[in-house]
């Protein structure tokens, strides 16, 4: 499989079993030379070994780390044709209970750090390329007790549109991918594999099932490839059509876990 043959890809936010690892593995399987980045060295190294990728430790909250990562990717990969940001923090907490400390960390992880990553990327992608931001269906439709997560994801989606608008003349494309719940990654904690929870989501998803990581990796592969060469500034939902309906309420989800 050679849809990314000759391309160099950087995937940020990789840890064992998570969505970033699935995307990086798919890129490598399609012929790309890949560098993966994450906060913790040991699990990052484990993921990189499975993928056959280069690894570089990076804390998305630290500007110096971000700059060093992009410089290392350019040096070790030769260039950056594709970059994916899959970092995130799935804080689930009632709106009135979010602390200042939690809000500041959420902004650091899901807005300021990714913004600074985008700044470094547009400087480094001298020959153009594809930037892919992993967003969320919840940046469009509601989910209870998730306001800080949803708000920062939605804000960065608009920043992605700004990058597409301002850097298209340099051949840089920028798009968001918005998954719904992913049944086989740590973010969902295995909950979507419980029959009663799956039934809740199947009711709200026209295609009748929760997503899996391969669904999102397939969409990321398309955006990374030349097949999407005329696509930029878009938020592509990989959710089985869930935005046509809704998320289950938090009460429904808790009842499905405990009932």
Mind telling me the catalytic residues?
A: 149
Phi first, then psi: what are they for 34, rounded to 5°?
-125, 140
Q: What is the 3-state secondary structure (H, E, C) of 117-186?
A: HHHHHHHHCCCCEEEEEECCHHHCCCCCCCHHHHHHHHHHHHHHHHHHHHHHHHCEEEEEEEECCECCCH
What tokens appear for 199 in the block? 């039934």
Q: What is the DSSP letter of 248?
A: P
Distance CA 180, CA 123 (A): 31
Yes or no: say if 132 and 12 are a contact pair by the CB < 8 Å rule. Answer: no
Nearest to residue 136, comparing CAs of 255, 238, 48?
A: 238
CB hemisphere CA count around 135 (13 angstroms) = 31
């Amino acid at each position: 499989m050679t849809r990314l043959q000759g391309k160099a890809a950087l995937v940020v936010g990789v840890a064992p079993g998570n969505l970033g690892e699935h995307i990086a593995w798919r890129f490598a399987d399609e012929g790309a030379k890949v560098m993966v980045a994450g906060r913790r060295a040991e699990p990052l190294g484990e993921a990189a070994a499975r993928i056959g990728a280069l690894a570089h430790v990076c804390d998305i909250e630290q500007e110096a780390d971000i700059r060093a990562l992009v410089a290392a990717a350019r040096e070790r990969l030769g260039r950056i044709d594709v970059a994916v940001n899959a970092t995130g923090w799935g804080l689930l907490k009632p709106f009135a209970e979010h602390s200042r400390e939690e809000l500041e960390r959420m902004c650091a992880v899901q807005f300021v750090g990714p913004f600074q990553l985008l700044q470094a990327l547009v400087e480094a992608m001298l020959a153009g390329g594809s930037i892919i931001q992993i967003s969320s269906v919840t940046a469009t439709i509601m989910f209870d007790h998730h306001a800080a997560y949803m708000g920062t994801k939605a804000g960065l989606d608009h920043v992605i549109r700004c990058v597409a608008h301002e850097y298209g003349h340099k051949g840089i494309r920028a798009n968001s991918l918005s998954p719904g719940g992913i049944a086989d990654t740590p973010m969902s904690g295995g909950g979507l594999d419980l029959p009663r929870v799956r039934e809740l989501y199947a009711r709200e998803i026209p295609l009748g099932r929760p997503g899996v990581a391969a669904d999102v990796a397939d969409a990321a592969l398309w955006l990374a490839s030349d097949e999407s060469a005329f696509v930029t500034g878009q938020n592509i939902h990989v959710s089985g059509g869930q935005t046509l309906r809704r998320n289950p309420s938090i009460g429904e989800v808790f009842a499905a876990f405990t009932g």
